[in-house]
Amino acid sequence: MPRESKRARLERMRAEYELLCEEIPAPKCALNFTNPFQLIVATVLSAQTTDKRVNTVTPALFAAYPDAASLAAARPEDVEDIIRPLGFYRSKAAHLLGLAAGLDHDFDGVVPRTMDELTSLPGVGRKTANVVLGNAFGIPGFPVDTHVMRVTGRLHWRSDWRIAKSDPVKVEAEICACFPPSEWTDLSHRLILHGRAVCHARKPDCANCPLNGTCPSAGVA
C-alpha cells in the first residue's frame, strides 16, 4: 500500500466510521447496570473475562451489596463466592472491596464524574474511567480495550500500528483527535463490537467486513 498522507488517512477513517455506523446503528454498553456504582463495579469485574459472563454474576452481587458502603463492609469470602465463575475471583474481590472503600471514604459513596477523581480510586484506570464517564454520565470518553487496539491497528488508524504493544493512552489521544467528542463513546462501542463480530483476533472475517474495500489489512491480517 502506498504511503498515505495524514489528510488522506483522516478522510479514510471518517469514511470507514460511516460504514461502521451503518453496520452498528445503535451501539450500547454490553454490561448490564442501572446506576454508576453498578457500572464501575461491573467494569472492574470485566477484566480478563467477557461482559456476558460478568452479567451472570452481577445480579446476585448487586442484590447483596447495592451500594459502596455495603460492599466495603462485605466479607471477602462472601464476595468471592458470588464472583467465583469469573476467574481470578480472589484478586477481583480484593479490588472490589478496595474500590468500594475508596468510594465510601473519599466520595461519600457517590461515583465521581471526572477522570482525575475516578482514576484516584483503587483499581480504576483510564479505560474503566472512560467506560463510566461515557455510559453512566454521558461525558465523552473513549475506552481503549484489546478490540480497539486490534481494530485501529489493522485499519492503520494510528501511527504506531506496526508496534505490537502500543500505549493505550497514546492510542486514545490520537484517535480522539480525529473525531468530535460527541462520537467518542459510540466510536469505542462500534470498534469493540466490530472486533467481536468480524475483526477477530486469530482469523478476521475480511470477506464479510464492510471495510474490506479500504482496510489496509484486508486479506492479510
Q: Catalytic one among 51, 145, 160, 170? A: 145
By the 10 Å C-beta count (0-12 exposed, 13-18 middle, 19+ buried), 135 is classed as buried
| The three grid cell numbers given for residue 89, joined into one nine-digit string | 475471583
Dmax over CA atoms of the chain, in Å, equals 59
* Selection from 157, 91, 172 nearest residue 126 by Cα: 172
Does residue 67 carry a catalytic annotation? no
Could you write out the three-class secondary structure of 96-156? HHHHHHHHHHHHCCCCCCCHHHHHCCCCCCHHHHHHHHHHHCCCCCCCCCHHHHHHHHHCC
Instruction: Report how far residue 207's alpha carbon sits from residue 33's, in angstroms, rounded to the nearest whole number.
Output: 35
Does residue 6 carry a catalytic annotation? no
Q: How far is Cα of residue 74 from the mean position of the Cα atoms in its chain?
A: 27
Q: Catalytic one among 52, 67, 78, 127? A: 127
CA distances from 82 to 30, 51, 63, 65, 87 (A): 20, 16, 11, 11, 11
Q: Which residues are catalytic?
A: 127, 145
